[in-house]
Chain A
Amino acid sequence: MSTTTRVQTSSSELNDPAALRLSGGQSLPPRSRRPKEGSGRRDGGVLVYLAALIVVALTLGPVLYAVLGGFRSNAQLAADPAGLPDPWVLDNYRRVITGSTFWTYAVNSLAIAVITTVVTVVAGLMAAYPLARYQFRWREPLFMVFVVGLLFPATVAIIPLFILVTRDLSMGNTWWGVALPQAAFALPMTIVILRPFLMAIPREMEEAAIMDGASRMQFFWRVLLPLSAPGAITVGVLAFVGSWNAYLLPLLLLRGDMKTLPLGVADFSSQYSSDTAGVFAFTTLAMVPALIFFLAMQKRIVNGLQGAVKG
């Protein structure tokens, strides 16, 4: 077994561009390696692709089933739960799209997620700045406050939070009443991720800016903010998706027309539990925005996390 593998690798080594890269290929952009090696290294071959196929099927299966289920009628679903739409029924999706509840919930979700994201990123960046680049006695203790905040699950505070928002602040059933607590619980992670970004900017750059007559504020606006954009985008996306997907806090705080999409999906599912096709259509439409948004931002998230984990 081990001998065969060794033979395989040593033979593939000859036409492996990775080995050749040492001699002349170094100046090539890294991307050009990928397609070549895709054909060059096929140790594993069919098995690797088979494994990948299984992973894809298991991962996407339930999601695709829900999407397709929305195109079927309940009769079709009952007669053959594992079948394909035949004929394709558009009525379920049409009912959701032409109904007002879905859009009301979607607007609420969007508004709350946007407020959460803006508050989180602005407050997070501002706080991370002195924590990263000022020298003062309380710097590390102050940072620790937020680090410890990572350990506070929102669940622990949910009952007092509910009372605080609804009674003391009279912000129950409002966008801000949900967005501000969500921003608060997103802040620790935001600051923990952003601080290394701001710290990594060389001190010389700051000195040069100060020499040129910039105040710390100007340095913050003109130099730090642009340079920390990758980190800011990462935490922004995380805050947005977190808020968009949140359930517990909206569940306690929002009623009626103020509900968000996850609440709407849960409601729809329990109200019309026998209308499986309708549930699938509603659920599918509710998952589309977050999926598109996250997948568009995915590369940035991975890059941002890498910067933060490297630490």
Chain B
Amino acid sequence: MTSLSVPPRDASTQPTGRAARPVGRRRDWRMAGEILLFTAPALVIFGLFVVVPIARAVQFSLYRWKGFGPLVDFVGLQNYVSVLSNEVFRGAVGHNLFIVVASILIQLPLGLAIALLLNRRIRGRGLLRTIIFVPYVLAEVIAGVVWFQLLQPGRGVVETLLGTVGLDGPYQGFLGTPELAMPTLMVVLTWKYVGLAVLLFLAGLQGVPDELTEAAQIDGASWWQIQRRVTIPLLGPTIRTWAFLSMIGSLQLFDMVWILTGGGPANATTTMATFLVNEGTKRQNYGIASAASVVLFVIALTMAVLYQRFVLRRDTSGADVLRGVR
């Protein structure tokens, strides 16, 4: 707004030259050149490091290839058949889908509650908002290492604290017991990622006009009524955007699992990502790993498209705000 007072200064040095430039083809070419110039760096980097590798993942998935020698052993869809009939991979798909659903079911109410709490005018609100982001800022690996230590069977602090209230930890630890590994992972993931939900919800809450809540207040609505009838409906678009990000993130989950359990015990926490990294780097089964990555991508794309079509479309229709208030 203040920058309105920053007009280009060379207006005086070239009074008429540019304005008089002939309009037409030459200008088109010039514009095309500028577009090319401006978009080239992004397109080259994106093409080289995103598009090409993904295209090659598709290509590799059709070959039996151990990573050395030429790419000659074409096997068609055989890698896909073996990936899709692989118990471990099918388990991994199940785990990923479970994590997608559980993340949303756990983090949505929790994140909403914390965001509404931190949106109230309470003392130390700024500090509280900062604190809730701390786990989210930490690298997944670093958070994972800390939790790994906390959850050490026998000598970790979690079991010690449980012991003070008379509960025994599982013999093989929370991460070492197949039935407990996934719930434990979900607890850690919730701790790590609820901050993102809160961050986005708080940003969305800033967009809720004060006038609306004040009007409701004057009409005698309680705090809870205002949240339920005014604030949360207005957060709709933010919530749906967050759920989308959460979904895509859950499908790609790697770091935390790799650090906490490595996919174990007995493949109880294997995800598609840990499966394909394992196949690719430890066993050099590049064909299998690539097929798994293509399957991962297809699942992610399908879910994204369905979500876009049935959920997010409401937000682009524009009338959503009105519909939310109703």
Residues of A within 8 A of B (CB): 2, 5-6, 8-10, 13, 16, 18-19, 21-22, 34, 37-38, 40-41, 43-44, 48-49, 51-52, 55-56, 58-60, 62-63, 65-66, 69, 77-78, 80-82, 119, 122-124, 126-127, 129-131, 134, 136, 142, 145-146, 149-164, 180-181, 183-185, 187-188, 191, 205, 208-209, 211-219, 222-223, 226-227, 241, 244-248, 252, 261-263, 265-266, 269, 276, 279-280, 283, 286-287, 290-291, 294-295, 298, 301-302, 305-306, 309-310
Contact = CB atoms under 8 A, between A and B. Distances in A.
A156 B10 CA distance: 50
Contacts of B258: 247
B255 to A, nearest CB: 5
Given A49-B122, A247-B141, 12 more contacts: A34-B121, A48-B122, A63-B138, A155-B296, A156-B293, A156-B297, A213-B10, A223-B8, A247-B140, A286-B142, A290-B138, A309-B237
B197 to A, nearest CB: 13
A208 B5 CA distance: 11
B152 A276 contact: yes
A226 B157 contact: no
B134 A60 contact: yes
Q: Per DSSP, are chain A's interface residues mostly helix, strand or loop, or mixed?
A: helix
A174 to B, nearest CB: 14
B50 interface: yes
17 contacts: A10-B220, A44-B223, A52-B124, A81-B156, A119-B41, A131-B39, A134-B34, A142-B39, A151-B301, A153-B252, A155-B272, A156-B54, A160-B53, A180-B45, A212-B7, A214-B7, A283-B146
A228 B205 CA distance: 23
Contact of A37 (B32, B121, B138, B142): B121
B277 interface: yes
B81 interface: no
A185 B42 CA distance: 11
Nearest to B18: A213
Contacts, number: 334
A49 B289 CA distance: 50
A146 B46 contact: yes
Contacts of A131: 39
B92 to A, nearest CB: 12
A151 B222 contact: no
B134 A63 contact: yes
A156 B272 CA distance: 10
Contacts of A276: 149, 152, 155
B11 A41 contact: no
A22 B221 CA distance: 18
B138 A287 contact: yes
Contacts of B156: 81
B4 interface: yes
B89 interface: no
B146 A66 contact: yes
Which 10 residue pairs are nearest across A and B when measured between Cβ atoms? A184-B49, A214-B8, A127-B42, A245-B139, A157-B53, A212-B11, A160-B56, A160-B53, A5-B222, A262-B141
A37 to B, nearest CB: 4
A9 B223 contact: yes
B280 interface: yes
B310 interface: no
A130 B32 CA distance: 10
A41 B3 CA distance: 39
A296 to B, nearest CB: 10
B50 A153 contact: no
Contacts of A81: 155-157, 159-160
Nearest to A291: B137
A227 B6 CA distance: 11
A279 B145 contact: yes
A159 B7 contact: no
